[in-house]
Amino acid sequence: MTASTPPRTSSRLVSPLGRRRPAPPALVLVAHGSRDPRALTTVRALMTLVRARRPGLPVHLGHIELNEPLLPGTLAALGDTPAVLVPLLLGRGHHVKQDIPETAAAASADTRTAPPLGPHPLLAAALHARLLEAGWPAAMDGTARRSTAVVLAAAGSRDPDSAADTRRTARLLSARLGVPVVPAYASAATPTVPAAVRALAARGRHRVAVASCFTAPGRFAAQCAEAAPWIASAPLGAQDAMARLVLHRYDQSLSTRSAEAA
């Protein structure tokens, strides 16, 4: 090689095996927000479970209202980092259809909104687990089943899609339990929990449990639990099925984006 001959370089500056994969989009948990301090504690505990199940994935929190950090602030802090927003909401209502997507569209980075947590079999599993903790029998004979039912207590919405999602969650839970599960609401929709309990009693279902279809403690969850004539489960909160469901919605959103790009 002469002095004028440039040194030979490899045609590949970096081996395929040595290439660093791009960082995954951040996962942003979108909570509603509550004046009940237990709600923020619960959401943070769920965030810890999600991080434990997916080490290395950036997981952040943003609220729609009432609690810090608010979602616009969380997205602003992420800057140009892509993100997937996973609503900690249990059906399609105004927040899922309007508020969260509008906030995502205003972000400076590529930000998309995943579906809400419900309906899904993992949500039914989480509801079942909370009922077992509250005293739901692990086994039940035919006589007991004929007198037993569940009221699925949800927040309520004027959006018919939200009610459809709650009804589907009720069907999934009923299939797990083997007893009727009737949706009822804390606001904006009917029937109320007390009305659903009375209707079930008129059908001979006198042992009625209330399943709390709320992500975290709050005023609505407490009001619904007070109407339970038998047992009432705790809000869904921080449990493994919920963490798995959050990650499923995140992965589902990424798969949808890949399919759209293809």
Per-residue pLDDT, averaged over 154-181, amounts to 97
Number of domains in the chain: 2
Residues 193 and 253 in one domain: no
- Any idea how long the chain is? 262
Residues 107 and 78 in one domain: yes
Residues 126 and 217 in one domain: yes
Residues 139 and 177 in one domain: yes
Per-residue pLDDT, averaged over 194-212, amounts to 98
Helices in the chain by DSSP H: which ranges? 37-53, 71-78, 94, 100-105, 121-134, 142-147, 160-177, 193-202, 219-226, 240-261
Residue-range definition of the domain harbouring residue 179: 121-226
Residue 212 within any structural domain of the chain: yes
Residue 156 within any structural domain of the chain: yes
pLDDT at 23: 85
CA atoms of 221 and 128, how far apart (whole Å): 16
pLDDT digits (tens, 9 = 90+) for 48-104: 999 999 999 999 999 999 999 999 999 999 999 999 999 999 999 999 999 999 999
Residues 6 or more apart in contact with residue 85 via CB below 8 angstroms: 28, 30, 62, 71, 100, 103, 104, 111, 112, 113, 114
Residues 204 and 246 in one domain: no
pLDDT at 90: 97
Residue 192 within any structural domain of the chain: yes
pLDDT at 44: 98
Collapsed DSSP state (helix, strand, coil) of residue 221 = helix
Confidence of residue 261 (pLDDT cuts 50, 70, 90): low
Residue 18 within any structural domain of the chain: no
Q: Which residue has the higher pLDDT, 198 or 15?
A: 198
HSE, CB side, 13 Å, CA atoms: give it for residue 261: 6
pLDDT at 37: 96
pLDDT digits (tens, 9 = 90+) for 27-42: 999 999 999 999 999 9
pLDDT at 143: 95
| pLDDT mean across residues, the chain | 92
pLDDT at 252: 97
Per-residue pLDDT, averaged over 119-133, amounts to 98
Residues 211 and 245 in one domain: no
pLDDT at 47: 98
- pTM greater than the 0.75 cutoff: yes
Residues 112 and 125 in one domain: no
- Quick count: other Cβ atoms within 10 Å of Cβ 178? 10
Residues 175 and 94 in one domain: no
pLDDT at 18: 59
pLDDT digits (tens, 9 = 90+) for 236-255: 999 999 999 999 999 999 99
Residue 56 within any structural domain of the chain: yes
Residues 178 and 112 in one domain: no
Contact 32, 63 (CB under 8 A): yes
Confidence check: pLDDT of 114 > 80: yes
Residues 86 and 147 in one domain: no
Per-residue pLDDT, averaged over 145-157, amounts to 97
Quick one: what percent of the chain has pLDDT higher than 70?
91
pLDDT digits (tens, 9 = 90+) for 181-190: 999 999 999 9
Residue 4 within any structural domain of the chain: no
- Whichever domain contains 204, its CATH number is 3.40.50.1400
**Strand-pair partners of 232:** 210
Quick one: what percent of the chain has pLDDT higher than 90?
89
Confidence of residue 168 (pLDDT cuts 50, 70, 90): very high
Residues 33 and 86 in one domain: yes
Residues 222 and 250 in one domain: no
